Amino acid sequence: MAERMTGKGLGGRPRDASIDTAALDAVSELLEESGYGALAVEKVARHAGVSKTAVYRRWPTRQQLVLAELQRRLGDVAPVDTGCTLCDLNEALGMFVRTFTCMGPEFFSPLLADCSADPALRREFMDTLFEPPRQAVHTTLARAVERGDLRADADLTLVVDSLASLVHYRLLFGHAPVTDEAVEQAVTTLLAGVAHDFDALRAQAAKADAESDHRVEHHHHPD
């Protein structure tokens, strides 16, 4: 584990990044071909053209190997801060969508179940896929409270969980789409109950959208 965190191999040698890339590329391809249940470190090594030892040295378990690939797909998760509460929350909630879709619901549950038996693996799962987008949404809400857009007594944890639940529930069961319109409706429905002046927030968002459209139009149709 220390090697994976420091980027160095045994004896302090720099780690060969090409092996990391080859292994994670192989994980991605094998997940798409045969799913999580059939994934094995030996298959990854063979597919990547590297040794099993090199893979195990970096990721001692297949769960950690898959989590590393999913983290690569997800990329950096940082909350936006435009000053427009509805705009920022729509963007932040989109992070939940990307988190779930970066792995596909068909192996999200098996991976979580596979990690749950080991407290360290479960913590790594949570730190990799659960906490980053959740913290981004919480930060966005906290900024809105500081600006006075949301009531100070709003239960931000409950709001975060409510917003995340829409995404996870719909993507997991597939009974309804998670469109931009659905995300926007969820945000506006929840914030209507915790905003100081919801009409003002909606007007602010509409103005931001209009300005964005104007910039796009100007870019495509220069004078």
Query: Tens digit of pLDDT for each residue in 123-134?
Result: 999 999 889 889
Q: What is the dihedral of CA 25, 30, 36, 42, to 10 degrees?
A: -90
Tell me the pLDDT tens digit for each residue of 104-162.
777 788 999 999 999 999 999 999 988 988 998 999 999 999 999 999 999 999 999 98
DSSP 11: G
pLDDT > 80? residue 6: no
- Token pair for residue 15? 């780690």
pLDDT of residue 213: 67
Tell me the pLDDT tens digit for each residue of 45-102.
999 999 999 999 999 999 999 999 999 988 878 888 998 998 898 888 887 787 777 7
Reference 188, options 212, 206, 169; nearest CA is 206
Reference 37, options 106, 87, 103; nearest CA is 106
pLDDT > 60? residue 222: no
- Amino acid identity, residue 144? A
pLDDT of residue 217: 61
Burial of 101 (0-12, 13-18, 19+ CB in 10 A): middle
The answer to whether the beta carbons of residues 55 and 65 sit under 8 Å apart is yes
Tell me the pLDDT tens digit for each residue of 158-201.
999 988 888 888 877 878 777 888 888 888 888 888 888 878 88
* Neighbouring residues of 40: CB distance < 8 A, sequence distance ≥ 6: 62
pLDDT of residue 1: 38
